[in-house]
Amino acid sequence: MFNIDKMCGIDVDTLYAFMSKGNILYKSETEGIKSNLRLITYELQRRGIKILSCNDKHFGDEAHKLQESELTVNGGPFELHAAAGTEGCEKIPETLLSQDVIYVPNEPLGCLNLDTFKNMIFRAKQIVIEKQSYDVFYSKENPGGNLNIDTVLNILGSEDFFAYGVYTDYCIKAAVLGLLARKKNVWIIKDAIVPFNVNPEDGEKALIEMVNGPNGGAKFITTDSFVEILKSNFG
């Protein structure tokens, strides 16, 4: 049995940069998961289950050089994408709620009082975590991860996470392994993800890595079985 207050959706990089024709990192395969993304978002929203959205936001400038090592301008493999101020860094409509959305930038909270921040998180239905790396979790080795992600997770207190989005072998894998390392339970909605596949086998390798990850590894379900989990547990 699940506790609805301990559940959370993990929506990974469902942005125009990856899911809209004409963008440099677009994959046509993403079109095939949009209906499932819409259904997952609807089912989470109508039950009041929070959605944690991990979203790229890139600048490609000197000030963000350390955080954006994945960009070709900094010697990385990817051209500038999801650029700040462009449609590319915005969420597609299938995964964006119409209200109660807050954005957590990748910068220190500064003068923002922690209690005020907690209240913002509690009131929000969708929490968008901005990042400059494909891995949302900040560390000394990954300075492009969000500085506030662990604070958000601690405030939420969620234990069961349901992951979906793009791309399996990069951002999804990093998010899932990060959650598993933090002793969270993770289910990957397999028909609501797409691999990038620089090499043809990269997506499958990522799935194996997540299944064999820490804390018992991730589990796979489908969109239909996810909806059934919600219905059987909460009506």
**Span 207-234, pLDDT tens digits:** 999 999 999 999 999 999 999 999 999 9
**Hey, what are 80's tokens?**
């500038």
Which parts of the chain sit beneath pLDDT 70?
A: 111
All domains of the chain in start order, with CATH: 4-234 (3.40.50.850)
The residues, ordered by sequence, that sit 6+ positions from 115 with a Cβ below 8 Å of its Cβ are none
Q: What does the pLDDT read at residue 112?
A: 76
Mean pLDDT score across all residues of the chain: 97
DSSP the chain: ---GGGEEEEEE--BHHHHSTTSTT--GGGGGGHHHHHHHHHHHHHTT--EEEEEE-B--SGGGTTTTTTBGGGTSSB-S-SBTTSGGGSBPGGG--SSSEEEE-SS--TTS-HHHHHHHHHH-SEEEEEESSSS-B--SS-TTSBTTHHHHHHHH---EEEEEEE-IIIIIHHHHHHHHHTT-EEEEEEEEEE---SSTTHHHHHHHHHHTSSTT--EEE-HHHHHHHHHHHH-
Give the integer Cα–Cα distance in Å for 173 and 166. Answer: 9
Residue 78 to residue 99: CA distance in whole angstroms: 32
Q: What's the confidence (pLDDT) of residue 109?
A: 84
> Rounded to whole angstroms, how far apart are CA atoms 32 and 17?
16
Please state the pTM of the whole predicted model.
0.97
Q: What is the pLDDT of residue 1?
A: 82
Chain centroid offset of residue 82 CA: 14
Contact status, residue 176 vs residue 135, Cβ threshold 8 Å:
no
